[in-house]
Amino acid sequence: MTNNPTDTQVIQDCTILSIRNLNVHAGNHHILKDINLEIPKNRITVLLGPSGCGKTTLLKCMNKLTDLYRELKVTGNIFIEDDDILNTSKNIPSIRQKMGLLSQRPYPLPVSIYKNVAYGIKLKGIRDRKLIDYNVEKHLKEVGLWNEVKDRLHSPATSLSIGQQQRLCLARGLAVKPRIILADEPTSALDPISSKIIENLFRNLKENYTIILVTHVLRQAIRLADHVIFMYNGEIIEQGTPDELFNNPKSEKLKEYMVEGN
């Protein structure tokens, strides 16, 4: 990145992902209603909202994971770097590699620690052993896991603690060199210390990645957010800077949520 302040300004004001008129239906249930939003590049955008308001569904749309669920009907546009991923003829797997997913619970693949990180790299078509080794090490270091696992890279990933597994999942997501990290309550299954580690990682990762974070922890949102989106019942009620939303909430719903949420 450059030191020129005006350049930095330009980069920061870029939108990396924008959503137009996104609607998701499951049968008669209207899960997401006319979602329109822009995700700023190299920032942490926090999605807030009560349980069942559609945060996870929104994240899954960005990654086209909604394809897995036949009952979901998705309409609208999602632009990522000029590709409308909902209506593109391009290769979906390579579009998905632009995003790393971190879910509520860690889901390590049923292979070794090493292969978990190498999985996405190999899918990119990289076969060079040395290059894979190098990247595995690099990304395990990036999430601060290298020293803990370097002597047992070939033992099953499930032998790690939950906190370590979550960091492994982050590492394997970073290994495909995504632009965006989609994190769905990534700390909700973790102890306070592991949560802190993940939070600090996010702060550092912001330099090179755009992060979209779903959280139920209001304090976490305040600590991390550059941009906040508040959802309620499938709709976006308010969005803006943390200062705007947390100090001067406009809608009753958000006021209520902030009182109950903390």
Partner 1 sequence: MFRRIFFDRTTKTWMITTMVIILLMPVIIGVGLYLKSLPLLEHQSLRTLLFTSDWQPSQGKFGFWPFVAGSIYVTLIAFVLSAPVCLLAGIYLTQFASSRLVKVMYPVIDILAGLPSVIYGVWGILVVVPFISKFLAPIFGTTSSGYTIMAGGIVLAVMCVPYMLNMITEVFKTVPMGLREASLSLGATFWESVKHVVIRKSYPGIISAFGLGIAKAFGETMAVMMVVGNRVQVHFNPFEAGYPLPALIANNYGEMLSIPLYDSALMFAALLLLVIILLINLIFRYFIFKTRER
Ligand X SMILES: Nc1ncnc2c1ncn2[C@@H]1O[C@H](COP(=O)(O)OP(=O)(O)OP(=O)(O)O)[C@@H](O)[C@H]1O
Q: Residue 116 has which token pair?
A: 């978990």
Residues 69-98 that bind ligand X (CB under 6 A): 69, 71-72
- Spell out the alpha helix ranges (H) of the chain: 5-13, 55-62, 92-96, 113-123, 129-142, 146-149, 162-174, 192-205, 218-224, 242, 252-261
51 binds ligand X (CB under 6 A): yes
Which of residues 135 and 239 has its CB atom nearest to partner 1 in the complex?
135
DSSP code for 86:
G
Binding characters for partner 1, 96-125, by CB under 8 A (x = yes)? xx-xxx-xxx-x-xxx-------xx--xx-
Could you say which of 12, 52, 107, 251 contacts ligand X (CB under 6 A)?
A: 52
**Cβ 55 vs Cβ 100: under 8 Å:** no
Q: How far is CA 46 from CA 6, 150, 211, in A?
A: 26, 33, 8
With CB cut-offs between 5 and 8 Å by kind, which of partner 1, ligand X, Mg ion, none does residue 57 bind? ligand X
Do the Cβ atoms of 213 and 58 come closer than 8 Å? no
d(CA 81, CA 72): 25
Q: Does 56 bind ligand X (CB under 6 A)?
A: yes
Q: Is 159 in the site for partner 1 (CB under 8 A)?
A: no
CA distance 24 to 61: 9
Q: Which is nearer to partner 1, 121 or 197 (CB)?
A: 121
Pick the stretch among 40-48, 90-98, 141-149, 206-214 that binds partner 1 (CB under 8 A): 90-98
Binding site partner of 169, from ligand X, partner 1, Mg ion, none, Cβ cut-off 5-8 A by kind: partner 1
Q: In the complex with partner 1, which residue's Cβ is closer, 213 or 228?
A: 213
Which of these ranges, 10-18, 44-52, 76-84, 200-208, lies near ligand X under the rule CB under 6 A?
44-52
